[in-house]
Amino acid sequence: MPAYTLWSYLLGYVIIKIKGVRVEEFINSACSSGLYLWDIRKIKRGFLVAKMRADRFYLVRPLARHCDCKVEIDKKLGLPFLLKCIWRRKMFFMGTLIAVTLIYVLSTHIWFIQVEGIERLNPTRIEEVFRDYGVFPGVPKSKVDLRGLERTLVKEIPGIAWAGGKIRGSVLNLQIVEKIFPEEDEEISKELIANKAGLIEKIIVFSGKALVTHGSAVDKGEILIEGITDEKGTLIKPRGLIKGRIWYNARGAVELIQNYRENTGRSVRTHHINFKEKSLKIGRKEVPFAEYDTIEEKRSISLFGITFPITIITTTYNEIRDRSIRLTYEEARCMALRKAFEEIICNLSDDFELVEMHVEYQGMHGAREVITAEVYIETLEDIGVYSNIKEEVISAR
Considering the domain architecture, whether residues 69 and 203 belong to the same structural domain is answered as: no
Give residue 102's pLDDT: 87
Listed residue (238, 192, 168, 249) closest to 383, CA to CA? 192
**Side chain identity, residue 197:** A
Give residue 391's pLDDT: 39
Considering the domain architecture, whether residues 215 and 144 belong to the same structural domain is answered as: no
Q: Roughly what angle, to the nearest 10 degrees, separates helices 79-88 and 90-107?
A: 90
> How many Cα neighbours within 13 Å face the side chain of 128?
7
What is the number of residues in the chain?
Answer: 397
In a domain, 171, yes or no: yes
**What SS3 class is residue 51?**
strand
The strand pairing partners of 255, in sequence order, are: 370
**Side chain identity, residue 178:** E
Considering the domain architecture, whether residues 247 and 369 belong to the same structural domain is answered as: yes
Question: How far is the C-alpha of 360 from the C-alpha of 342, rounded, in Å?
Answer: 16
Contact 318, 293 (CB under 8 A): yes
Question: How far is the C-alpha of 9 from the C-alpha of 3, rounded, in Å?
Answer: 10
**What SS3 class is residue 108?**
coil
**What SS3 class is residue 76?**
strand
In a domain, 205, yes or no: yes
In a domain, 100, yes or no: no
Measured CA to CA in angstroms, residue 382 lies from 183, 216, 237, 344 at distances of 22, 15, 18, 17
In a domain, 73, yes or no: yes
Measured CA to CA in angstroms, residue 208 lies from 230, 234, 242 at distances of 10, 12, 13
- Return the C-alpha torsion angle 93, 96, 101, 107, nearest 10: -170
* Among 155, 178, 201, residue at a domain's last position: 178
Q: What share of the chain is helix, strand, coil (3-state, %, to 5)?
A: 25, 50, 25
* Number of domains present in the structure of the chain: 4
Q: What CATH code is carried by the domain that includes residue 122? A: 3.10.20.310
Considering the domain architecture, whether residues 24 and 52 belong to the same structural domain is answered as: yes
Q: Which residues contact 320 (CB under 8 A, 6 or more apart)?
A: 261, 262, 263, 264, 289, 291, 292, 293
Element housing 68 (H / E): none
* Among 280, 296, 319, residue at a domain's last position: 319
Give residue 188's pLDDT: 53
Considering the domain architecture, whether residues 54 and 141 belong to the same structural domain is answered as: no
Considering the domain architecture, whether residues 221 and 341 belong to the same structural domain is answered as: yes
Considering the domain architecture, whether residues 248 and 362 belong to the same structural domain is answered as: yes
In a domain, 263, yes or no: no
Considering the domain architecture, whether residues 128 and 151 belong to the same structural domain is answered as: yes
In a domain, 334, yes or no: yes
Considering the domain architecture, whether residues 283 and 380 belong to the same structural domain is answered as: no
Contact 103, 96 (CB under 8 A): no
Give residue 378's pLDDT: 92
Question: How far is the C-alpha of 92 from the C-alpha of 102, rounded, in Å?
Answer: 15
Question: How far is the C-alpha of 123 from the C-alpha of 174, rounded, in Å?
Answer: 12
Q: What CATH code is carried by the domain that includes residue 50? A: 3.30.70.260
In a domain, 158, yes or no: yes
Contact 213, 193 (CB under 8 A): no
138: phi > 0 → left, psi -120 to 50 → alpha, else beta; which? left
Considering the domain architecture, whether residues 54 and 78 belong to the same structural domain is answered as: yes
Contact 178, 121 (CB under 8 A): yes
Listed residue (32, 42, 111) closest to 67, CA to CA? 32
| Phi then psi dihedrals of residue 216, to 5 deg | -75, 140
Considering the domain architecture, whether residues 394 and 332 belong to the same structural domain is answered as: yes
| DSSP assignment string, 323-371 | EEEEPPHHHHHHHHHHHHHHHHHTTS-TT-EEEEEEEEEEEE-SSS-EE
Considering the domain architecture, whether residues 158 and 195 belong to the same structural domain is answered as: no
Domain carrying residue 137: 109-178
Question: How far is the C-alpha of 16 from the C-alpha of 49, rounded, in Å?
Answer: 6
Those residues of the chain that have pLDDT short of 50 are 1, 184-186, 389-397
In a domain, 389, yes or no: yes
Q: Please tell me the pTM assigned to this model.
A: 0.41
Q: What is the β-pairing status of strands 112-116 and 171-178?
A: parallel
**Side chain identity, residue 80:** P
* Among 126, 155, 178, residue at a domain's last position: 178
